Amino acid sequence: MPILFLDFDGVLHPEHCHESKHFCCLPILEEVLRQAPEWKVVVTSTWRLDQPFEAILQRFSPDIARVIEGVTPKYCDLSNVPDTLVGYQREAECHAWLRTNDVSHINWLALDDRSWLFRPFSKSLFLIDGREGLTKIIKPQLTARLRSLL
């Protein structure tokens, strides 16, 4: 059960887009996830901080909503952040979720548009151009990356 840690802004829609475009890239992600049914999803987006989990799930097709395992904890609530992760908020939150759920040993990938939230050259980050979000051009690369981590 590998985990895909998922950001929204800059991934599922372009960063700073009009709200009418929110989640315009979601169908592309859902197609990818349907081709990689072994993967589970955990939401890392800041949307998790002000929206109930049930409201987040409603954004997704029912079959994809079923593979969403939860959300990462807030960085400010973390204790014992390893020195190597201090300053890399999103990656620290991912590691905390993995530890809390006793799955630190499994493969994982973060789909995000903000590289500075992860350690430099992190092999666990699939970086998206936040100006565009997840595009059809990137879809085959993401699919291949998920398959390579099985």
* Predicted model pTM: 0.96
Which pLDDT tens digit goes with each residue over 25-65? 999 999 999 999 999 999 999 999 999 999 999 999 999 99
CATH number at residue 41: 3.40.50.1000
- In terms of residue numbers, what domain contains 43? 3-10+22-148
Cβ pair 110, 94 in contact under 8 A: yes
Chain segment 105-132, per-residue pLDDT in tens: 999 999 999 999 999 999 999 999 999 9
Number of domains observed in the structure of the chain: 1
Measured distance CA(122)–CA(130) in Å, rounded: 18
Residue 108 lies in a domain: yes
User: Which residue, among 4, 72, 71, has the nearest Cα to 37 in the 3D structure?
Assistant: 4
Q: Is residue 104 part of a domain?
A: yes
**Would 16 be classed as within a structural domain?**
no
Q: How far is CA 137 from the centre of its chain?
A: 19
> What would you report as the CA-atom Rg of the chain, rounded to the nearest whole angstrom?
14
Structural domain includes residue 17:
no
112 is a domain residue:
yes
